[in-house]
Every structure is written in C-alpha cells, then in structure tokens.
Amino acid sequence: MTIQWQPQPKQAIALASTEDEILFGGARGGGMPDTGHAWLLYDIDKPSYRALVIRKNYTDLSDWLDRAQRFYFNAGGKLVGDTFIFPSACNSVGVIGDIHIPYQDNDAIEAAFAEMEAQKIESLFINGDMLDFYQLSFHEKDPRNVHFKQEIEAGRQFLEYCRYRFPDIPIYFIPGNHENRFERYLRVKASELLDMDEFRLDVLLHVAEYGVQFIPFRSKVVFGDFLIEHGDKIPGAGGVVPARTALMRLKTNCLINHFHKTSDSSQRVYGPDDSTTIRGYSLGCLCELTPEYLEINEWNHGFAILKRNGNLVQVNNYEIEGNQIV
C-alpha cells in the first residue's frame, strides 16, 4: 500500500519512536489523526493484523473515519461497515425527523417533546431532514425564500433548544436526503471545498457545542433488534402504507421517517425453526403539512418512542392531530 503523504517534523518523530506508548497532543486538526493513520500501516502486511481506535464520542470517531477514508483512498482502502448501535445501557429513545427547518411546525414539536419528557426518554434521535436546505435544491425554487445561512442559524438554534429541553441525555443527529443537498451542491458547484473541515455540516451546525453526536449520512442505526433508517433508500413515494413498503424492502424490524406518514405493518416469517414476526413503522413529520409544492397529500405529524423490553423493542408510534397526541 502506497500513501502519498509527507509527515511534519513532530509527526516524523512520533512515527519513528520505538516506545510502547506515545502521548501526542495539540490543537484540533489533521496532525494527530493523520499520525495515527500512518502509524496503523506499520503491520498492514500481516493478514491477522487488527487495530483498535477509541475516541471520546461518535462525533470525534466520525471525524476520524472521514479523514481515514481520504487518507487511505488512493491506496485502495475502503470503509467496510458503517453502523451506529445505541449503547446497551440506553433503554429508551425518542425519534423525530422531517422537521424541515425553517418550515417546522412548532406546536407539533412541543407536543412531541412534552410526551418524551413525560416518559423520561434516555436519548433523543433526530432521524434526518432536520433542515430543508431549500436554496440548495436542484428543483425550481423561489430565490426570495429563506437562504442557506439563515437555515444554518435556525438549525443551530434548534439543536440548542433540544439540549435545553433534554439537558442530561445523549442527543444524536443523522442527516437525511435534504441535508445531503449541501454535499451534492458542493460536488457540483465547489468540489474544491469538499475536503475543508470548515464546510462539514457538523462543523457548520456547531454540534459539539451543543453536545450533539453527529452520525454520518446513510449510516445504519440500530436500537435493540430494530434498524432505524431515514427512508430515502427506499425508492418511490412509499405506497399507501410506507411501513409495509419498508418492511418488504428491508426484511427486518425497521422504523423510518421520510414519507411524513404514520403507519405500521407486520409480517410472519416462515423458517426452519419457529416462525418469527417482523415489524415495520413509518413516522409522521414535524413540518408544515401543506407546502406550496405539494398542497394535497396524506401527511400527518408524528414521532415515536422506542423502549427495550428484555430482548425485544416496544415501539410507540404516535400521531399528532390538532397539536394533541391521538
């Protein structure tokens, strides 16, 4: 494996050391991670070689993984597996998504948060499309509408509010297809900026400042025996019952957002042993229900709370109507 990289003097000293332990400090940036990436190559030719990387939180780990992909890419390296698993000590999680700031419905958000507080959730998961990124869309749009800078500022305010409402629990955020408009825009309009940390979405949103852990786009998310997906991997409009569509596509216990519609479905699976039942759920949104581009729709407001029950997960899939949970 050949890596096109030249270490700085202090990096070279660290890499040349024969000590069992090295303490390498400094300001946040590429120096420390890149030294670690290079150091991991020393025994790469050994088939049984394995290395363990530990970071303080998932946000730091995702940063390390992003740099590792760039560091090893030209040498044929690739990321295998990209899954976030909720800690086993977390027994309940509130799930929201499709807020589409600045087109959110504040009353629906308040109804969801009030119920989550009442049930004392142990973590909050924002399952994509927190932001709309209207002006970054390649669809026809009104240039007079809200702009990117305003959306970023509104996104920061929402994360700050989430931390205010839930001060003592982990908060996780994974981008959806609307947030991915930002990277798609950069690829087409300003590809030279893709490698700049300053243009990463988690950096622009100040997620670390609010204690929010950022999960990379399209990562698999697992809570107990449930797969949590945003839902944009499923083509089309989701059908009459999006949960059924997701269940038939994913073929496992699953929960999705994306289609802005509360639904559930189940399927018995025949096997060599006892038959099992898999369950699927789609969640309502927390945004305006009659947008200009699709005034007639079947959307509804909603959210979910997942709780561990032994080895199984109990899903409470709530619908909000008239700012009340029904």
10 Å CB burial of residue 30 (0-12, 13-18, 19+) is middle
* Residue 2 included in any domain: no
Alpha carbon distance, N-terminus to C-terminus of the chain: 58
More confidently predicted of 56 and 94? 94
* Shared-domain flag, residues 289 and 152: yes
* Residue 218 included in any domain: yes
Write down the residue that tokens 């209207």 correspond to. 134
* Shared-domain flag, residues 178 and 264: yes
Lowest model confidence (mean pLDDT) among 57-66, 96-105, 295-304: 57-66
More confidently predicted of 12 and 99? 99
* Shared-domain flag, residues 176 and 137: yes
Question: In the structure, what pLDDT confidence band is assigned to residue 20 with cuts at 50, 70 and 90?
Answer: confident
Quote the pLDDT of residue 79: 57
Looking at the predicted structure, is the pLDDT value of residue 31 above 80? Answer: no
* Residue 221 included in any domain: yes
* Shared-domain flag, residues 73 and 108: no
Question: In the structure, what pLDDT confidence band is assigned to residue 59 with cuts at 50, 70 and 90?
Answer: low
Q: Each residue of 172-227: pLDDT tens digit? A: 999 999 999 999 999 999 999 988 889 999 999 999 999 999 999 999 999 999 99
Q: Are strands 124-127 and 220-223 parallel, antiparallel or unpaired?
A: unpaired
Percent of the chain clearing pLDDT 70 (strictly above): 92
Q: Each residue of 111-125: pLDDT tens digit? A: 999 999 999 999 999
* Residue 267 included in any domain: yes
* Shared-domain flag, residues 130 and 233: yes
* Shared-domain flag, residues 15 and 102: no
* Residue 1 included in any domain: no
Q: What does the pLDDT average to over 289-312? A: 92
* Residue 4 included in any domain: no
Answer whether 213's CB lies under 8 Å from 207's CB: yes
Query: Which residues have CB under 8 Å from 278's CB, separation 6+?
Result: 247, 251, 252, 253, 254, 266, 267, 269
* Residue 148 included in any domain: yes
Q: Each residue of 228-275: pLDDT tens digit? A: 999 999 888 788 999 999 999 999 999 999 999 999 999 998 878 788
* Shared-domain flag, residues 60 and 146: no
Q: Are strands 312-321 and 276-282 parallel, antiparallel or unpaired?
A: unpaired
Helix ranges (H only) for 223-322 are 242-250
- Residue 224: beta bridge partners? none
* Shared-domain flag, residues 255 and 295: yes
Cα(185)–Cα(280) distance, integer angstroms: 33
Structural domains in the chain (count):
2
Answer whether 294's CB lies under 8 Å from 273's CB: no
Q: Which domain holds residue 44?
A: 9-80
* Shared-domain flag, residues 75 and 89: no
- Residue 131: beta bridge partners? 101
Cα(317)–Cα(158) distance, integer angstroms: 23
**CATH number, residue 297:** 3.60.21.10
Q: Which of 60, 80, 100 is the last residue of a domain?
A: 80
Question: In the structure, what pLDDT confidence band is assigned to residue 107 with cuts at 50, 70 and 90?
Answer: very high
* Shared-domain flag, residues 245 and 268: yes
Q: What is the CA radius of gyration of the chain?
A: 22
Q: Each residue of 250-263: pLDDT tens digit? A: 999 999 999 999 99
Q: Which of 43, 59, 80 is the last residue of a domain?
A: 80
Looking at the predicted structure, is the pLDDT value of residue 12 above 60? Answer: yes
* Shared-domain flag, residues 158 and 70: no
Answer whether 99's CB lies under 8 Å from 117's CB: no
Answer whether 96's CB lies under 8 Å from 171's CB: no
* Residue 175 included in any domain: yes
Q: Are strands 324-325 and 312-321 parallel, antiparallel or unpaired?
A: antiparallel
Q: What does the pLDDT average to over 290-305? A: 92
Q: Which of 36, 51, 80 is the last residue of a domain?
A: 80
* Shared-domain flag, residues 229 and 302: yes
Cα(267)–Cα(251) distance, integer angstroms: 9
| Tokens encoding 1 | 């494996």
Question: In the structure, what pLDDT confidence band is assigned to residue 72 with cuts at 50, 70 and 90?
Answer: confident
Answer whether 95's CB lies under 8 Å from 230's CB: no
Query: Which residues have CB under 8 Å from 317's CB, separation 6+?
Result: 262, 264, 281, 283, 302, 304
